[in-house]
């Protein structure tokens, strides 16, 4: 256990200058033609993403996040001509689990960001769901302030549609704030991974955007394995760190869902490499160890009976529990609760000083300065993150969501 505590990290130590022209505003024509920076044991080389299968350590298990981005932005026109935009963040009622919330009919309550809130003095907002009256409508009623947003009560007609179907008809794709444009038709396809399956994210797990069927077939042909977890990426992934030190930064929570079969597979994978495809997959994998350790030690779940991993748990809990023991504790928990899937909230902050338990490498894009995602990269490869980012900037790599990729093997 490291004595270094990330609470003391100064975010200003994780800054760099990112020119506007190196932020990718649109994807490349072909997903897998992006550049791939290879970092292996301190050495850097340049490749194409199609080279990834041959660059992986032998017998790797690649873990993908199969969350699907929902059209979470709702733009209501007021009768007076003004626009109110609602950005759905997370479900509040009648259920808080994202996948269940997406299947609700008739009405839901979600926490939303409200654009132009001052112009919304009172009353319900209304949006037609099509050009004809029989197509129905969506209504939004503001209930009360919620942390970093408002509780919004949505109702719709016809009421037998699921909320997922309503968003599909009424919503807009939520591109990241650093893309200074509205979503276009092409984004409907390109801002989703080809394996997206579980609706609930408000941002794409962007490391996965480079994968094509050909790349995934080549990964298998070279003797690697592939597996899927679900972590619904929240808007908090773009939340800037505003405090000088991390002690005062509240890490956003995200919902994860992992099958019993996946945990068993991880258990039997032994000491072979586990490569996370994206920071969200890495967050999920490392959370599994700490959730299992917390259950093993009797520290989790808390009084609320919901499994939730606190931000500083990995740094404050001293334990020598093995990965095998932690995963077996998760299986015991599933069996005793007669569950097929582990569902939990994770607030884990992976930052320098973190000791990795499951992941041995990472496929990831290039992240914003002074972000928690950059802290995660530094936790994995140490101060070499600066060398990697200098190389990427000097060699015209494209940055952020639609940008190029890297394979980081410490």
Q: Supply the DSSP string of 234-303, one letter for each residue.
A: -GGGG----SSBGGGPPPPPEEEEEEHHHHHHHHHTTTS-EEEESHHHHHHHHHHHHHHHHHHTT--S-T
Query: The domain at 73-172 falls in which architecture?
Result: Beta Barrel (2.40)
Q: Which residues are bridge partners to 405 per DSSP?
A: 36, 365
Residues 6 or more apart whose Cβ sits within 8 Å of residue 226: 61, 62, 64, 216, 219, 220
Q: Return the DSSP state at 119.
A: G
Interval 105-115 mean pLDDT = 97
Residues 6 or more apart whose Cβ sits within 8 Å of residue 161: 105, 136, 169
Check whether 1 has a pLDDT greater than 80.
no
- Which run of H or E residues covers position 49? none
Check whether 104 has a pLDDT greater than 90.
yes
Residues 6 or more apart whose Cβ sits within 8 Å of residue 86: 73, 74, 76, 112, 113, 114, 115, 125, 140, 152
In degrees rounded to 5, what are phi and psi of residue 392?
A: -65, -40
A 10 A CB-CB count for 34 gives 21
Model pTM score:
0.95
In the structure, what pLDDT confidence band is assigned to residue 190 with cuts at 50, 70 and 90? very high
| Of 402, 408, 350, 392, nearest in space to 16 by CA | 392
Bridge-based pairing state of the strands 225-231 and 73-77 = unpaired
Q: Which residues are bridge partners to 254 per DSSP?
A: 346
CATH topology of domain 6-69+191-409: QueA-like (3.40.1780)
Largest CA distance in the chain: 64
Interval 150-155 mean pLDDT = 98
Interval 144-168 mean pLDDT = 95
Residues 6 or more apart whose Cβ sits within 8 Å of residue 351: 6, 9, 246, 372, 375, 376, 378, 379
| Of 148, 124, 146, 147, nearest in space to 137 by CA | 124
CA dihedral (46, 47, 53, 57) in degrees, to 10, reads -10
| Of 115, 110, 61, nearest in space to 86 by CA | 115
Conformational region of residue 237, where left means phi above 0, alpha means psi within -120 to 50, and beta covers everything else: alpha
Interval 221-225 mean pLDDT = 98
Q: What is the gyration radius of the CA atoms in the chain, in angstroms?
A: 21
| Residue 139, helix vs strand vs coil | strand
Give residue 81's pLDDT: 83
Percent pLDDT > 90 in the chain is 91
Give residue 2's pLDDT: 43
Give residue 4's pLDDT: 67
Interval 109-133 mean pLDDT = 93
> To 5 degrees, how large is the angle CA 302–CA 304–CA 307?
60
Check whether 378 has a pLDDT greater than 70.
yes
Check whether 375 has a pLDDT greater than 70.
yes
Task: Give residue limits of the domains in the chain.
Answer: 6-69+191-409, 73-172
- Taken as a whole, the chain contains a residue count of 410
Check whether 52 has a pLDDT greater than 70.
yes
Give residue 233's pLDDT: 95
Give residue 335's pLDDT: 97
Note whether 240 and 12 are within 8 A (CB). no
Note whether 270 and 58 are within 8 A (CB). no
Residues 6 or more apart whose Cβ sits within 8 Å of residue 50: 32, 33, 214, 215, 218
Check whether 150 has a pLDDT greater than 70.
yes
Interval 219-247 mean pLDDT = 94
pLDDT in tens, 300-355: 997 777 899 999 999 999 999 999 999 999 999 999 999 999 999 999 999 999 99
Conformational region of residue 305, where left means phi above 0, alpha means psi within -120 to 50, and beta covers everything else: left
| Of 193, 282, 205, 227, nearest in space to 63 by CA | 227
Interval 44-62 mean pLDDT = 99
């Amino acid at each position: 256990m490291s004595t270094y505590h990330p609470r003391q990290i100064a975010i200003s130590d994780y800054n760099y200058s990112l020119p506007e022209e190196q932020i990718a505003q649109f994807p490349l024509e072909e997903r897998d033609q992006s550049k791939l920076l290879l970092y292996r044991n301190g050495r850097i080389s340049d490749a194409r993403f199609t080279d990834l299968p041959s660059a992986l350590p032998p017998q790797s298990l690649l873990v993908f996040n199969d969350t699907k981005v929902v059209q979470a932005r709702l733009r209501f026109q007021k009768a007076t001509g003004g626009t109110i935009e609602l950005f759905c963040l997370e479900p509040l009622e009648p259920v808080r689990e994202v996948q269940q919330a997406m299947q609700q009919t008739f009405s839901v309550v979600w926490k939303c960001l409200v654009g132009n809130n001052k112009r919304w003095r009172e009353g319900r907002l209304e949006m037609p769901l099509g050009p004809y009256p029989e197509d129905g409508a969506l209504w939004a009623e503001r209930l009360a302030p919620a942390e970093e947003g408002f509780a919004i009560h949505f109702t719709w007609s016809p009421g037998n549609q699921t909320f997922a179907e309503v968003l599909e008809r009424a919503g807009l794709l939520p591109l990241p704030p650093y893309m200074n444009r509205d979503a276009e038709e092409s984004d409907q396809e390109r801002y989703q991974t080809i394996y997206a399956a579980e609706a609930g994210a408000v941002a794409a797990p962007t490391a996965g955007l480079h994968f094509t069927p050909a790349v995934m077939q080549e990964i298998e042909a070279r003797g690697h394995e592939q597996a899927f977890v679900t972590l619904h990426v929240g808007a908090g992934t773009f939340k800037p760190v505003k405090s000088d030190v991390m002690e005062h930064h509240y890490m956003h929570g995200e919902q994860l869902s992992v099958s019993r079969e996946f945990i068993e597979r991880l258990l039997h994978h032994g000491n072979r490499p586990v490569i996370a495809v994206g920071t969200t997959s890495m967050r999920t994998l490392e959370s599994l160890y700490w959730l299992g350790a917390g259950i093993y030690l009797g520290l989790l779940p808390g009084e609320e009976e919901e499994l939730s991993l606190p931000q500083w748990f990995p740094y404050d809990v001293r334990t020598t529990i093995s990965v095998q023991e932690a995963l077996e504790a998760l299986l015991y928990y599933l069996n005793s609760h007669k569950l097929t899937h582990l569902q939990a909230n994770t607030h884990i902050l992976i930052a320098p000083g973190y000791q990795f338990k499951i992941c041995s490498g990472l496929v990831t894009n290039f992240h914003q300065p002074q972000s928690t995602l950059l802290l995660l990269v530094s936790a994995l490869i140490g101060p070499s993150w600066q060398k990697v980012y200098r190389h990427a900037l000097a060699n015209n790599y494209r940055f952020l969501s639609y940008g190029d990729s890297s394979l980081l093997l410490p």
